[in-house]
Amino acid sequence: MSHELIENTTEIPQAERTWAMLAHLSSFLGWIGIPFANLIAPFVMWQMKKEEMPFGSSQAKECLNFQISMTLYAIISGILCLILIGFVMLLALFVFDIIITIIAAIKANEGNAYRYPLTIRFIS
């Protein structure tokens, strides 16, 4: 069963929904000063549970793809700081990342697979 088709919370155990929610929230570790934790934490969670929790691991992989994309966008914005527009873009990325990650965590906890917008699917 594809993770995009899982919509009913009765089909997904609470432990797996919690794992999926924590996978999304783990990306905040990068914002509190742990270098590259926004990438490492979802990657580790995906690898740990990819065999036993298909929903949880798919959400960790989705979070990882989003965080890779956000990192690339931040690097581009950092370069654009040389012409001042990058400062606005960095602020917008910061706010966007927080809001979308919280939405993803809530959806995952409800048992709904979440697909982040503006995400490049590096890992399929």
Q: Quick one: pLDDT band at residue 10, thresholds 50, 70, 90? A: low
Query: Has residue 118 been placed in a domain?
Result: no
Mean pLDDT of 9-37: 89
Query: Has residue 100 been placed in a domain?
Result: yes
Query: Has residue 20 been placed in a domain?
Result: yes
Q: What is the pLDDT of residues 91-100, one digit of tens each?
A: 999 999 999 9
65 vs 63: CA distance, rounded Å: 5
Query: Has residue 2 been placed in a domain?
Result: no
Task: For residue 65, give its domain range.
Answer: 14-110
45 vs 61: CA distance, rounded Å: 9
Total of domains in the chain:
1
Residue 64: pLDDT over 50: yes
User: What pTM did the predictor assign?
Assistant: 0.86
User: Which residue would you say has higher pLDDT here, 3 or 11?
Assistant: 11
106 vs 20: CA distance, rounded Å: 10
Alpha helix locations (H) across 3-120?
Answer: 14-25, 37-49, 54-80, 85-110
Amino acid occupying residue 34: I
Share of residues in the chain with pLDDT > 90 (%): 79
- Other CB atoms within 10 A of residue 41 CB: 23
Query: Has residue 90 been placed in a domain?
Result: yes
Query: Has residue 86 been placed in a domain?
Result: yes
Residue 9: pLDDT over 50: no
Residue 30: pLDDT over 90: no
Instruction: Quote the mean pLDDT of the chain.
Output: 89
Query: Has residue 60 been placed in a domain?
Result: yes
Query: Has residue 4 been placed in a domain?
Result: no
